[in-house]
Amino acid sequence: MKLFEPLRINGMTVPNRIAVPAMVTRLSGEDGYVNQDVTDRYVRYARGRVGLIVVEATAVHRAKSGPLLRLCGDEFIAGHRDLARLVHDVSDSKIVPQIIHFMKVARSGWRQTIDMLSEQDIERIIGEFGDAAGRAREAGYDGIELHSAHAYTLSSFLSRRNPRRDLYDGRSLEGRLRMFGRVMTRVRQVVGEDFPVGVRFLAEECIKEGYTVEDAKLIALRMAQLGVDYISLSVGGKFEDAVHREGQPLYPYTGYSGDRCMPGDWYPPLPHAHLAEQIKQYLNARGHSLPVISVGKISDPDDAERLLAEGRADMIGMARQLLADPDWPRKVMEGRRDRILRCIYCNVCKNLDENFREVHCFLWPKGLRQAPEDRADALAPRWPAEGAGLSATCEGGQIRLVWRRADGEGVAGYDIYRAEENGEGRILEAVKSPKALDRTVLGGLAYTYYVRAYDASGHAGPPSNAVRVAVPMPDYVTEQRARHA
Ligand SMILES: Cc1cc2nc3c(=O)[nH]c(=O)nc-3n(C[C@H](O)[C@H](O)[C@H](O)COP(=O)(O)O)c2cc1C
């Protein structure tokens, strides 16, 4: 499979095409040091054979924030060194920290914007990026990633809503690009030519008057001209449309652009793959071959493989899916894809992050801080002797499903599969107890359901009996149709 072909990025050989993009864990204290829980989280990805592990946003400066890793002083290097070493000890995975500068936010809803930065502030920020990058190299990381996405400082310069009116003038593309260019230049001076420097930026801002993929292509081209070694794409996640909650600092994933950044279960799979594809094609057509990482609701191995095989991406980034099951690469490699604990995009992880609480996955057994171990030899849950007894009733435009509890040690939950008419069965949601309500059916269509129980490591038992329900058309449609007939 193309998924398991190695990729060389400026001297770093990534063993396969699977990346876990940066995901804040909130496992560190406010002191910003790497601790055991943080280490365990990343070593777990390495044991699962994730090719490129991007460590969560790590601050280049000392500004106050909730729990967040830091590389803003030499005292932080030792913890990162241990983390990088442990990842290297267990696998050939590569590990790079994502380094971030962010501006101040207050509980009142006030936030600092980039037009409030003086020339000295800008020089200081550039220096802080360079110093943090140098520390990352000293810590033994394989490279670094510059966080130039979402609501943070570098992204705010790239934004079409950049309010500055000087050398960094938001009214021109060149003005918007200057800050990133200066940061990249400094970082290169510090880390040298042979150290991989990737960047994360937005393929679309997804805010009113924000930039779209048209600008993103040009931004990517400039990044390639500057010697960036890979591009990881995200979308949205901006302050401009964030919803302020009384007494809370603004969180940039509360508005529409936040929905787009971490698309929930109501979005189709792969909502952003076309953006990565366009940017990659634009770069390739101009002679630049730096890898482009496509991200956004990718979880199916066939979808991932197809994106690579069709040349629509160079690497596949999966954030929430790999959080749910860091063993995804190993399971696919070993032909055990039926054992993958499939992300249902419920966004419990996103809500935990928003509330500065330790980020874990809803699908894990209660109380676990890390993904459960893959117990390849454990028996999958099974249905009781009398069967699952799945039944479905249609009430008021919703389908109520009930079934018997599965047997076996450690039943962690149930995946509910649904097929529309005679289509393919896809996981609709996962629940912890044997009942569910499907509120997303359309009258006039027929649906087939079945359920599979899974254990903590994603090992699913056999499907239950299948039930088919034809949802009646609402009266107002039938009457309207009768009038037209
Ligand atoms: C809990 C959580 C924390 C995140 N933290 C970061 C971060 O530190 N830096 C970043 O660039 N993106 C962050 N993201 C965004 C993800 O990297 C990713 O772009 C997004 O979840 C969409 O990918 P997915 O559909 O594979 O989950 C975070 C997402 C989640 C759910």
- CATH number of the domain residue 433 falls in: 2.60.40.10
Identify whether the C-beta of residue 375 lies closer than 8 Å to the C-beta of residue 294.
no
Indicate whether 312 belongs to any domain.
yes
Contacts of 429 (CB under 8 A, 6+ apart): 265, 344, 346, 415, 416, 436
> Residue 27: its pLDDT value, please?
95
Regarding whether 330 and 205 lie in a shared domain, the answer is yes
What residues form DSSP beta bridges with 145?
98, 198
Give catalytic status of residue 152 as yes or no.
Answer: yes
Regarding whether 264 and 210 lie in a shared domain, the answer is yes
Residue minimizing CA distance to atom 23 of ligand 1:
296
Out of 330, 354, 378, pick the residue that ends a domain. 354
Regarding whether 411 and 345 lie in a shared domain, the answer is no
- Around Cβ 377, how many Cβ atoms within 10 Å? 5
Regarding whether 399 and 346 lie in a shared domain, the answer is no
Residue showing tokens 């007894």: 389
Ligand 1 atom with least separation from CA of 57: 8
CA-to-CA separations, 37 to 157, 351, 368, 371, 458, in angstroms, rounded: 34, 19, 11, 12, 22
Measured distance CA(149)–CA(372) in Å, rounded: 31
Which tokens go with 79? 């913890």
Regarding whether 227 and 119 lie in a shared domain, the answer is yes
> Residue 378: its pLDDT value, please?
80
Closest CA to 255 of 218, 207, 325: 207
Residue showing tokens 């509330």: 355
Ligand 1 atom with least separation from CA of 359: 1
Instruction: Walk along the chain (485 residues) and give the pLDDT tens digit of each residue.
Output: 999 999 999 999 999 999 999 999 999 988 999 999 999 999 999 999 999 999 999 999 999 888 999 999 999 999 999 999 999 999 999 999 999 999 999 999 899 999 999 999 999 999 999 999 999 999 999 999 999 999 999 999 999 999 999 999 999 999 999 999 999 999 999 999 999 999 999 999 999 999 999 999 999 999 999 999 999 999 999 999 999 989 888 999 999 999 999 999 999 999 999 999 999 999 999 999 999 999 999 999 999 999 999 999 999 999 999 999 999 999 999 999 988 999 999 999 999 999 889 999 998 888 899 999 888 778 889 999 999 999 999 998 999 999 999 987 789 999 999 999 888 888 999 999 999 999 999 999 999 999 999 988 888 898 999 999 999 999 999 999 899 88
Out of 291, 325, 354, pick the residue that ends a domain. 354
Is 0.85 topped by the overall pTM? yes
Alpha carbon of 265 to ligand 1 centroid (Å): 15
Regarding whether 290 and 210 lie in a shared domain, the answer is yes
Indicate whether 484 belongs to any domain.
no
Identify whether the C-beta of residue 209 lies closer than 8 Å to the C-beta of residue 160.
yes
> Residue 366: its pLDDT value, please?
82
Indicate whether 289 belongs to any domain.
yes
Measured distance CA(9)–CA(13) in Å, rounded: 6
Indicate whether 368 belongs to any domain.
no
> Residue 377: its pLDDT value, please?
79
Regarding whether 400 and 333 lie in a shared domain, the answer is no
Contacts of 194 (CB under 8 A, 6+ apart): 10, 11
Regarding whether 401 and 314 lie in a shared domain, the answer is no
Residue minimizing CA distance to atom 4 of ligand 1:
23
Regarding whether 315 and 438 lie in a shared domain, the answer is no
Out of 354, 378, 402, pick the residue that ends a domain. 354
> Residue 484: its pLDDT value, please?
86
Which tokens go with 6? 């190695």
Regarding whether 401 and 346 lie in a shared domain, the answer is no
Indicate whether 73 belongs to any domain.
yes
Measured distance CA(212)–CA(204) in Å, rounded: 4
Ligand 1 atom with least separation from CA of 234: 19
Residue range of the domain that includes 421 = 391-470
Regarding whether 135 and 89 lie in a shared domain, the answer is yes
* CATH number for the domain harbouring residue 260: 3.20.20.70
Q: How many domains does the chain have?
A: 2
Measured distance CA(306)–CA(312) in Å, rounded: 8
According to DSSP, residue 170 is labeled: T
Chain centroid offset of residue 22 CA = 7
Contacts of 433 (CB under 8 A, 6+ apart): none
According to DSSP, residue 293 is labeled: E
Regarding whether 15 and 75 lie in a shared domain, the answer is yes
**Residue of 18, 23, 321, 362 with the most ligand 1 atoms within 8 Å of its CB, for mutation:** 23
Rg (CA), the chain: 24
Measured distance CA(180)–CA(223) in Å, rounded: 8
3-state SS, residue 11:
coil
Contacts of 407 (CB under 8 A, 6+ apart): 381, 382, 383, 384
Within 6 A (CB) of ligand 1 lie 21-24, 56-57, 98, 147, 149, 200, 234, 261-262, 295-297, 318-321, 349-350, 353, 359
Indicate whether 385 belongs to any domain.
no
Ligand 1 atom with least separation from CA of 320: 27
Indicate whether 324 belongs to any domain.
yes
> Residue 64: its pLDDT value, please?
86
Which segments of 66-109 are extended strands (E)? 69-70, 94-100
Indicate whether 403 belongs to any domain.
yes
**Residue of 262, 347, 352 with the most ligand 1 atoms within 8 Å of its CB, for mutation:** 262
> Residue 365: its pLDDT value, please?
84
The sign of the dihedral angle between the CA atoms of 282, 283, 286, 289 is: negative
φ and ψ at residue 121, rounded to 5 degrees: -60, -45
Closest CA to 308 of 270, 282, 337: 270
